Structure 1
Amino acid sequence: MTTQTIEHLPTTRFADSARAVDGVATDAAAFDAWLADCRDRFRNTVSPRPLDALQGWSVDPRTGDVGHVSGRFFTVRGLDVHLPGAAVDHWQQPIISQPEAGILGILVKEFDGVLHCLMQAKVEPGNVNGVQLSPTVQATRSNYSGVHRGKAVPYLEHFRDTAPHRVLADVLQSEQGAWFHRKRNRNLIVEATGPVEVLDGFCWLTLGQIHRLLGEDDLVNMDTRTVLSCFPAAVPDTRHAEAGPSYGELLRWVTEERTRRERHVREIPLNSVTGWQLSDGRITHRDGLFFDVVGVSVEAAGREVGHWDQPLLAPHGTGLVALLVREIDGVPHVLLHARTEVGNLDVLELGPTVQCTPQTYTHLPPEARPRFLDTVLQAPPDRVLFSAVHSEEGGRFLHARTRYVILQADPGLSLADRPDYRWTALHDTAALLRHSNYLNIQARSILACLHGLAGRDGRETS
């Protein structure tokens, strides 16, 4: 898979689009009317159904694993985890095993010299509010290869055969490492070279319009946020970033952290997972903690398939993702955490400063409490640069919501004795987005929000 070099593209195109708060193709009033109409027409009904009664799914009598009868889509299995030296060094849990890579793609095109993104109003069974703003294409391999026997995925041809178009970004990226085992999706941004018909449920928006919408709760979905983070607008000068000493030091730090840590994980039968049980048609932790695995039956309008059953992972509590930011010698920096997660392909990826579900830590040892969590929770309002609640993947998680917060760091903040945290220049962080397995999904989501802040203020992000 080859990524066309983005440094040859004029970055002013993306900056101009980020400053355009009213689109040429769709202005703010037209967007509001379009979204209201889509939400009125694209409704879904999600009803609980026992895992062992899901149509098209089965519970394996030998292993207890929950899988689709086709052997595709995904499987809920067990995972055994051993992290030597961690505050909690051994546990078992259910996890979603989805080894196939899907496509998350945004199609872009200029109108009157302003770059626009083709966005979709998409309903997902796990969304708290039904329709959210999705990329042009958001599809698993099972979906776009027709396993569901539904309608074809609109605009898919632009991302499966990119030869006639201009590829602005193309990279495999991970998803939630605590809930997925080795899941990755291909993040693509493709500039169309010819006319594009706007189908029902789609509209053209500028980057500036999307950045504004990131400030609204439960509107811009997770798949849009991860693709936005890979946008060339977020990488103003990767040639100098990758050539500079700070970028090399960043790569060496990641390599050192990966080398010194141990992580041992193996898939095990779901019915052998200690501390979890299948009862009353759902899988729960014996103490009612962390998450449940539940079954649902879905009736949806505006989808390739109008009815289906599936399992969903239902987390307990609202998550928190926070990013501390500061300027060092006039250069914007973000505080990243080298974070080991059980489902990642590599030992660790870089995460935001804080990533957790706060209520979980009332049941764990004090030493397991995330560093800087109290700094975030006790931050004075004048240090909060951004705060919004966003939904996570509504196709796999039921009402999974996270508050995303960007904070101006206290100048006296100390990283003493914390080699797993590092102040990283924003242009170096953005350069990592051209590569797989460096920044986790939570980091990419909060970086999309940060780039949106800079775009709205008319500032560069480097």
Structure 2
Amino acid sequence: MTHTSLESPSALHTQDSELSMRIARSLWAADSTAASLQSFHSWFTGLRDSDASHVRRIDFDALTDWRFEAATGNIVHDSGKFFSIEGLNVRATQGPTQHQWSQPIISQPEIGLLGILVKEFDGTLHCLMQAKMEPGNCNGLQLSPTVQATRSNYTGVHGGKSVPYLDYFLDAPSQHVITDVLQSEQGSWFYRKRNRNIIVEVNEPVEVLEGFCWLSIGQLHELLSIDDLVNMDARTVLSCLPLSGAGLSKAHPFEGETFRSALVRSLSADQGTLRTSRQVQNWITDARVHSEMDATPVGLGQIEGWRRSSDRISHEAGLFFDVMAVDVRAGSREVRSWTQPMIEARNRGVVAFLTQRIEGVLHVLANVRAEPGLLDMVEVAPTLQCTPEDYQGMPAKARPPFMDEVLQAPRESIRFDTVLSEEGGRFFHTRNRYLIVEADPARDLTAPADFCWLTVHQLTDLIQHSHYVNIQARSLTACLHSLTLRPMGN
């Protein structure tokens, strides 16, 4: 029998550390050698100005290839592919109080692919990004991954053009894969939806097709500070970059006791944590075991508290979200025209991390949150994830923990504040205000049992594994990484 030599654990650790260092160097590189941000903005503005796409709201009876299923009331596609809008009955117990509700939810059992191709130019890793139109985008084009496609799309169910660059990800040699992990999407609006988040490095020349461009990792993170530019799918893939490792803060020191230096120390695995990784794992597992939320799929026509009109399905209280439909005319997609149902949030949400320096190392306050559509029901979420309007007129005890600390934070404590769009393929003009707020180091922020202070490297490490960190927290993690690019004061 022929034996293959094994990699030693120390060699594998060294390889991981070297990769983290390469990513950090690329993140903090002064600029791209492929293109400046000024030239990117000119290119992107030109594409957006010339985009001939048009999206309009329509009545449900104007949908083509979609129908309300007679037996269930579900909205389904004639092919049986893509996705459907179904119903979900939810029962959740919190202490002595039980909550029950029904809601529409998107069912899309197939696994989509979100992939970014990376290549080194003059020692700096660059990402091949796409200016992509999605029908739900509030501003037409947004910056998306190299490949962003459902299985129905890339297998050609729609009968349109093939997906560019797809083969780089489907046939990637394992030694060229930087990260490859299944991740969830919005657990309140998708039922057990997963996407493959994958980053592949290439060494050979790559033809840059129309609508694509190379940007350095640092440039991409810089663009996160611009409202509605970097889309949700790009943010989740960026968050999967293994940007953490021992020695990171020593290799890339920043002067002074500033937010930035505390953040870089938080990325370094040798700088200390409030809880060990084993304790964090126990915290998550215990929350899953003791979660008292049950979610049962039912027909859309069977849910209570929702009303269907000619053009939307809405909650009787006028809150939460609507199901509606659009007609799309697109100039730069695999298919030029189609109709589809979508979800539209009633109000803009808030997604936030509270942070605090603990012995000079930045920690973020994370929450183990149950959402009815998640595969494991519970994932690590931000400190705050809500729509404030949904709580107007409710007693203080009904408000999410730390809501006031976030929404009433003084301007000088806010480290990141950008409005970012959610996934434009299923959600219509749905946006959240993403916030990172630093609490006073002297302030006692004792957390309830379902909250935990984590370093950024602990959060980054959890994202390397499937179904541990939800989509909102992953977006915020990418935003946290971006804050290492510029001084943030004291």
What is the TM-score with the length of structure 2 in the denominator? 0.89
In structure 1, what residue type is equivalent to 2:59?
P
- Name the counterpart of 2:385: 355
Deviation at 1:49, TM superposition (A): 1.4
- Name the counterpart of 1:385: 415
Matched, 1:74 2:104: no
In structure 2, what residue type is equivalent to 1:287?
A
- Name the counterpart of 2:401: 371
In structure 2, what residue type is equivalent to 1:269?
G
Contact 2:351/2:382, CA 8 A, preserved across alignment? yes
- Name the counterpart of 1:166: 176
Among candidates 166, 178, 187, match of residue 156 of structure 1: 166
Among candidates 42, 49, 53, match of residue 40 of structure 1: 49
In structure 1, what residue type is equivalent to 2:52?
R
In structure 2, what residue type is equivalent to 1:128?
C
In structure 1, what residue type is equivalent to 2:36?
D
Identity %: 50
Contact 1:58/1:67, CA 8 A, preserved across alignment? yes
Among candidates 203, 218, 221, match of residue 208 of structure 1: 218
CA offsets per residue over residues 300-321 of structure 1, 9 Å max, x none? 1111111010001000111101
Distance 1:372 1:245, change over 3 A: closer
Distance 2:355 2:149 in 1: 34
- Name the counterpart of 1:97: 107
Distance 2:360 2:273 in 1: 19
Q: Which has the larger radius of gyration?
A: 2
CA offsets per residue over residues 77-116 of structure 1, 9 Å max, x none? 0000001226661100000011111011110001111110
Matched, 1:175 2:185: yes
Matched, 1:226 2:256: no
Contact 1:262/1:347, CA 8 A, preserved across alignment? no
Contact 1:41/1:301, CA 8 A, preserved across alignment? no
Distance 1:20 1:200 in 2: 26
Deviation at 1:33, TM superposition (A): 1.4
- Name the counterpart of 1:286: 316
In structure 1, what residue type is equivalent to 2:449?
P
Contact 2:142/2:229, CA 8 A, preserved across alignment? yes
Distance 1:396 1:241 in 2: 41
- Name the counterpart of 2:66: 57
Distance 1:99 1:414 in 2: 44
Unaligned runs of 5+ in 1: none
Q: How does 1:253-272 map to 2 (within 5 A)?
A: 253-272=283-302
Deviation at 1:43, TM superposition (A): 3.4
SS in structure 1 of the partner of residue 380 of structure 2: strand
Distance 1:239 1:382, change over 3 A: closer
Contact 1:4/1:169, CA 8 A, preserved across alignment? no
In structure 2, what residue type is equivalent to 1:65?
N
Matched, 1:29 2:38: yes
Distance 2:394 2:133 in 1: 36
CA offsets per residue over residues 340-385 of structure 1, 9 Å max, x none? 1111001210101100010011265543311101111111111011
- Name the counterpart of 2:455: 425
Deviation at 1:326, TM superposition (A): 1.6
Matched, 1:144 2:154: yes
Unaligned runs of 5+ in 2: 1-11, 248-267
In structure 1, what residue type is equivalent to 2:211?
G
Matched, 1:246 2:276: yes
Distance 2:15 2:471 in 1: 22
When the two structures are aligned, how many residues end up with a matched partner? 457
In structure 1, what residue type is equivalent to 2:67?
S
Distance 1:419 1:412 in 2: 21
Deviation at 1:244, TM superposition (A): 11
In structure 1, what residue type is equivalent to 2:426?
R
Matched, 1:117 2:127: yes
Among candidates 318, 321, 324, match of residue 351 of structure 2: 321
Distance 2:14 2:179 in 1: 8
Distance 1:443 1:417, change over 3 A: closer
Distance 2:415 2:270 in 1: 28
Distance 1:396 1:348 in 2: 23
Matched, 1:331 2:361: yes
Question: Which deviates further from its counterpart, 417-426 or 229-238?
Answer: 229-238
Contact 2:273/2:454, CA 8 A, preserved across alignment? no
- Name the counterpart of 2:428: 398
Contact 1:169/1:190, CA 8 A, preserved across alignment? yes
Distance 1:190 1:456 in 2: 27
- Name the counterpart of 1:127: 137
SS in structure 2 of the partner of residue 89 of structure 1: strand
Deviation at 1:216, TM superposition (A): 0.5
- Name the counterpart of 1:188: 198
Distance 2:368 2:394 in 1: 21
SS in structure 1 of the partner of residue 159 of structure 2: coil
Deviation at 1:233, TM superposition (A): 2.6
Distance 1:285 1:236, change over 3 A: farther
Contact 1:83/1:264, CA 8 A, preserved across alignment? yes
Deviation at 1:259, TM superposition (A): 1.5
CA offsets per residue over residues 252-304 of structure 1, 9 Å max, x none? 11111111221111100101100012112311111211111001000011111
Deviation at 1:240, TM superposition (A): 6.5
Deviation at 1:11, TM superposition (A): 2.8
Distance 1:404 1:170 in 2: 26
Matched, 1:453 2:483: yes
